[in-house]
Structure 1
């Protein structure tokens, strides 16, 4: 239980550090994640459109 809490704090600290030291790269990473999610959702929509058509 304690290890999970410490790991969470370390991860949050790393994210904050990354945001402050490399904001452009952090924004690019977030943008890439959202682009991937949107692409996946579009592909899922195409799949169901083809299955139900």
Structure 2
């Protein structure tokens, strides 16, 4: 079996285990990641807007 495939399945299994064991912490992590992506998108939009 391909090592990459095994590592991907192990990562998926770990994420599922973590979400089941600590749903509040998982939700906080997703929320903070979403806020970071939103902030980055806003910054990029401001930069592109300043070029015009």
Q: Give the TM-score range, shorter chain.
A: over 0.9
**After TM superposition, where is structure 1 displaced by more than 4 Å over at least 4 residues in a row?**
none
Report the counterpart of residue 18 of structure 2 in structure 1: 18
Report the counterpart of residue 9 of structure 1 in structure 2: 9
- Cα RMSD, aligned residues only: 1.1
- Equivalenced residue count is 52
TM superposition score normalised by structure 2: 0.93
TM superposition score normalised by structure 1: 0.91
CA distance in 1, matches of 2:27, 2:40: 20
Unpaired runs of 5+ residues, structure 2, are none
The alpha carbon displacement at 1:28 in A equals 0.5
Unpaired runs of 5+ residues, structure 1, are none
